[in-house]
Amino acid sequence: MADITTQAGADSAAIADWIKARLEAAMTEAGGPIAITVPGGSTPFPILEELARSDLDWTQISVWPGDDRIVPEDHPASNTGKIRSLLEPVGAQVVTLTENAVPPHFALAWLGMGADGHIASLFPNTDPQSDDPLMVRRLTPDPLPPEAPFDRITLTIPALIRSDSLLFVIRGDDKRAVFDAAAAGHHDLPIARLLGTAKQPVHCFT
C-alpha cells in the first residue's frame, strides 16, 4: 500500500512552492533533464500559472499530459494545447500524447481524480489494470462527460507508476471521501487500483 501524506488547506501558491522544490531536487539528483506528467481540468492551471511565473528552470523539464481529449490542440477542450501555451513560452518541452508514445520514468506524476474515482482518463468503465501491457491507451468513457464528450488518450497505470512520487490535488468533500476510501482499500475504483500498486511516496493536497 502506498505511503500517503495528506495536507489540508494549501492554496495554489503553496502547492506550486512544494512542486518547485520537488522538481529542483529531482533535477539536482538527476544531474540533468527530468520528465513530469500533469493533469488537465480546472484545478491544476492556477498552480501551473504560479509555477510558470517562478524561476524554475523549465528548459530542463519535459511535460507529458496525463491524458487528453482527442481534439485538435487549438480546441478549447485540449489539455495539451492549454499546457503548451502556458509552459512552452517559459522553456518547457510539452509532449503530445499519442498511442505510439513511449513515456519515460517521471520524476513526478501529478494526477487529478474525479468523483467517480477516475484518474487521468482511466474511468471505471475502462477497467484499468495495474499490469496493462500498454503504456498509453485510447479509450471512450461511458458515460461521456457532458462537458467534454470526446474519446480520450491516456497514460495507463503502469506508465503512471513509473515515477518517483505521485501527487494529487483534490478539492471537495465528496472527492476526498472517495480518495480516503481508496487509500483504505474499501473499493476497487481506478484510484484504488493505482494506490494499491504504488510503492513510491504519495502526497495529497486537499
Q: Domain with 62 in it: what CATH number?
A: 3.40.50.1360
First to last CA, the chain: 20
Q: Are strands 136-139 and 108-111 parallel, antiparallel or unpaired?
A: unpaired
Exposed, middle or buried: residue 80 (CB in 10 Å: 0-12, 13-18, 19+)? buried
What pLDDT does 101 receive? 96
Distance CA 111, CA 67 (A): 10
**Cβ proximity of 66 and 37 under 8 Å:** yes
Distance CA 107, CA 164 (A): 5
Q: Are strands 201-205 and 3-7 parallel, antiparallel or unpaired?
A: parallel
pTM of the model: 0.95
Flag whether pLDDT at 206 surpasses 80: yes
Sheet containing strand 152-155, edge to edge, reads 67-69, 152-155, 136-139
The mean pLDDT of 21-35, rounded to a whole number, is: 97
Q: Which cell goes with 14? A: 503553496
pLDDT band at 4 (very low <50, low <70, confident <90, very high): very high
Which residue, 6, 38, 37, 9, is CA-closest to 184? 6
Distance CA 201, CA 165 (A): 5
What pLDDT does 72 receive? 96
Element (H, E) at 61: strand 61-65
What pLDDT does 86 receive? 97
What pLDDT does 2 receive? 75
Flag whether pLDDT at 35 surpasses 80: yes
Domain that holds residue 99: 3-205
Count the domains in the chain: 1
Complete DSSP assignment for 60-120: GEEEEESEEESS-TTSTT-HHHHHHHHHGGGT-EEPPP-TT-----BSEEEE-B-TT--BT
**Cβ proximity of 22 and 29 under 8 Å:** no
Flag whether pLDDT at 36 surpasses 70: yes
Amino acid at 22: R
- What are the tens digits of pLDDT across the range 60-117? 999 999 999 999 999 999 999 999 999 999 999 999 999 999 999 999 999 999 999 9
Distance CA 117, CA 175 (A): 8
pLDDT band at 1 (very low <50, low <70, confident <90, very high): low
What pLDDT does 166 receive? 98
